[in-house]
Amino acid sequence: MNLFLGNTEILGLCEKENLASLNRGPLAMGILSGKFNKDSVLPEDDCRSSLDKHGDPYYLFFRDGKPIPIPGFKTVKQVEENAGAMAYGPLKSAQMDEVDLILASMREME
């Protein structure tokens, strides 16, 4: 699950039953990591090229703090950064609004 791929039915059930969910791929296989920009071109056979960046975004950890994102990592530094992000807790409403604005502007650029 990430901003582009999600399962709202499962997340809704978890919220209703006050359960946590473990969510693999919150950085969309690197798309949300900051190493790609609007000019980045992925090969057609790369599964990331088929992500629907125009649909409604899904918010994992941003929602209420119960979904637990499990981002990938390649280095110790990335593990430390990923673990350190948990200290900030869920995003505030104003921060979620800012994410929505960024996503809307990305859609306009395409």
What digits encode the pLDDT tens for the residues 47-92?
777 766 655 555 755 556 677 777 888 899 988 988 888 788 777 8
Q: 3 in a domain, yes or no?
A: no
Q: If you average pLDDT over every residue of the chain, what do you get?
A: 77
- Report whether 32 contacts 2 (CB < 8 A): yes
Element (H, E) at 23: strand 21-24
User: Looking at residue 7, what DSSP letter applies?
Assistant: -
How many Å apart are CA 36 and CA 53, to the nearest integer?
14
Q: 32 in a domain, yes or no?
A: yes
pLDDT of residue 76: 95
Query: Token digits for 35?
Result: 């190493």
Its domain, for residue 89, covers 8-109
Q: 86 in a domain, yes or no?
A: yes
Q: 28 in a domain, yes or no?
A: yes
pLDDT of residue 23: 80
Question: pTM for this structure?
Answer: 0.52
- Report whether 10 contacts 67 (CB < 8 A): no
- Count of Cβ atoms closer than 10 Å to residue 97 Cβ: 11
